[in-house]
Amino acid sequence: MTDQTRPRYQVIVLNGGSSSGKSGIARCLQAVLPGAWLTFGVDSLDAAMPASLRDGGEGLGIGADGSVSVGPEYRRLSDAWRLGVAAMVRAGARVVLDEVFLDGADGQQRWLRALDGLDVLWAGVRCAPETAAAREAARGDRVPGMARAQADVVHQGVRYDVEVDSTNARPLDCAHLIAQHVTP
C-alpha cells in the first residue's frame, strides 16, 4: 500500500438508526477501501451478550413499541467492549464500527473516550424514518417502531466528518462517498 492509498484513519464510526443501511455500507467499505478492515457494531455486541442480558432489567430492554433501554450491566460490558475494540485498533487493526447512539452525543462521547488518540472518521448515516420503517418490516428481525424511533434521535448532538443519506442511495454509493474522506 503506497502513501497515496494508505488510509489516514484507523477507525470509521457509522452512526445511524436501526435499518438505516449501516451494515450494508460497512460491508461495501470493506470492499472499496485499501487494505483489510474489520467490521463490528452494536449487533456484534448484542449477539455476544448472554440471554439474561437481552430481556431488560440489568441488560438491554426492547419495548413492544421498539423503544430501547440500557441497563447498568449491559452498559458496563459495552464499555469494556469499546475498550477492547480500541485495543485491537491500537494493535494495528483497522475497524469500521456499525453503531446506534441511542443517547446521541453521550454515545459519541463514550466512543471518543475509548478511541482517544486514534484517527477516527465519524460518519452519520441518515435515512428517512418511513424508509427505515419499511426496511425494518421487510427484514422481519426487528421490533416494529424501532427504526422510526431511532431515525433522528441517534444524531442529536453528534458531530460528523461526513454524512450520507441512504434513503434513496445504494450502500455502495454511500460507501464511496465515505471512502473519499478516508484516503488522501
CB 68 within 8 A of CB 61: yes
43 is catalytic: yes
CA dihedral 104, 46, 19, 95 (to 10 degrees): 80
Please list, in sequence order, all residues whose beta carbon lies within 8 angstroms of the beta carbon of residue 34, skipping any fewer than 6 positions away.
Answer: 1, 5, 6, 7, 183
- Report the alpha-carbon distance of residue 165 to residue 124 in Å, rounded: 8
Burial 104-116 (b: 16+ CB within 10 A, else e): beebbeebeebbe
- Out of 43, 46, 161, 165, which one is annotated catalytic? 43
Cα–Cα distance for residue pair 129/17, rounded to 1 Å: 9
Query: Which amino acids are annotated catalytic?
Result: 43
